[in-house]
Amino acid sequence: MVAFYIMMFIMIPGFTQETSKKAQREKNRLEKQLGIDSLIKAKHFTFVATRAFPQGGNTVDLTTNSNFVKFSPDKIESYMPFFGRAYSIDYGGDGGIKFIAKPEEFNIVAKKEGKGYEINVSVPVTRDQFKLTLFVGIDGYATLTIISNQRSTISYYGETSKTEEPKGK
């Protein structure tokens, strides 16, 4: 009988600790979802890729390569690596998808049942037109597909987060 009380005394704190950890994880998940919702609705956010999926090629790990696409209705800034076939690019270019331009189109569509967002952006740049489609899940993870007139289509997997303002502003 004493052993039973000792076991209950040991197990109850462990059980309450486990439920509080579960509640904390759920709270953190909800906070992240609300943060992603507010970022997307404000139309100011940044995508950073961890993997690239070139058309007809192997997956490329990007964790050691700096890259980003900063989204806003006034300006899209892209600094993404490119792996794939280029049909016509400027001589001496570095081969990446790098530009700063005002988008012609900037549409956000909420997916059904709160499953995330689809962002469609069309950006004209000198001698090319980029169509970016970003699917953002409620957890912030995202897939970006870039279609170009001058290059093969490429997709990236990564995470969406708040755009950091440059220091001094």
100-127, pLDDT tens digit by residue? 999 999 999 988 877 889 999 999 988 8
List strand residue ranges (DSSP E) for the chain, in order.
45-54, 60-61, 68-71, 76-80, 97-101, 105-110, 117-125, 128-136, 141-148, 154-161
Whether 74 maps to a domain, the answer reads: yes
Whether 113 maps to a domain, the answer reads: yes
Whether 134 maps to a domain, the answer reads: yes
Reported as a single tens digit per residue, the pLDDT across 37-51 is 888 888 899 999 999
3-state secondary structure of 100: strand
Domains contained in the chain, number: 1
Whether 108 maps to a domain, the answer reads: yes
Write out the residue range of the structural domain in which residue 135 sits.
35-161
Whether 3 maps to a domain, the answer reads: no
We report the CATH number of the domain holding residue 134 as 2.40.128.410
Q: What is the pLDDT of residue 163?
A: 83
**Distance (Å, whole) CA 143 – CA 52:** 10
Weakest mean pLDDT among 93-97, 106-110, 126-130: 93-97
3-state secondary structure of 138: coil
Whether 114 maps to a domain, the answer reads: yes
Q: What is the pLDDT of residue 103?
A: 95
Whether 27 maps to a domain, the answer reads: no
Whether 109 maps to a domain, the answer reads: yes
